[in-house]
């Protein structure tokens, strides 16, 4: 995990096309003290890193983000109000690329949609 202690994986389930994970954000993590003081918001770059790490866990390989064709931040994630995130990853291998379609939500609110392509970092 690149940013230790930012989140914990509470559930990790393989599906036919990828994984479904439930993660808990650590509202007391230092990243939220600066982003933003008094009104913590999950940084977008941290969300992308979390998607990468969950994909790596699913396929058992270290990855490098190659291309992101579509990133839509749909809702602000405040870890004090919505500490539990549901992360769905549709993962496919196309040639040398690992393609990921992600949707991340809290409750019934879609927070992130992401399409990305990773290469294996060997």
For 72-100, the pLDDT digits (tens) are 999 999 999 999 999 999 999 988 899 99
Q: What is the pLDDT of residue 45?
A: 95
Q: What is the pLDDT of residue 69?
A: 87
Residue 82 designated active-site? no
- Taking every pair of C-alpha atoms in the chain, what is the biggest distance, in angstroms? 46
With a cut of 80, say whether residue 107 has pLDDT above it: yes
| Domain boundaries along the sequence of the chain | 9-120
Of residues 35, 57, 61, 113, which has the active-site annotation?
35
| Average pLDDT value for residue range 5-16 | 95
Ranges of beta strands (E only) in 1-122 are 7-14, 18-25, 63-73, 84-94, 97-106, 109-120
Q: Which residues contact 110 (CB under 8 A, 6 or more apart)?
A: 74, 75, 103, 104
Assigned architecture for domain 9-120: Roll (3.10)
Q: What is the pLDDT of residue 88?
A: 98
């Amino acid at each position: 995990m690149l940013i230790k202690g930012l989140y914990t994986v509470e559930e990790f389930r393989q599906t036919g096309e990828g994984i479904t994970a439930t993660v808990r954000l650590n509202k007391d993590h230092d990243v939220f003290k600066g982003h933003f003081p008094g009104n913590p918001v999950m940084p977008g770059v941290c969300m992308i890193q979390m998607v990468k790490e969950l994909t790596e866990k699913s396929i058992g390989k270290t990855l490098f983000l190659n291309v992101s064709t579509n990133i839509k931040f749909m809702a602000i994630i405040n870890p004090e109000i919505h500490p539990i995130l549901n992360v769905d990853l549709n993962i496919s291998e196309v040639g040398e690329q690992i393609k990921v379609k992600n949707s991340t939500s809290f409750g019934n609110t879609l927070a992130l949609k992401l399409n990305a392509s990773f290469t294996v970092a060997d």
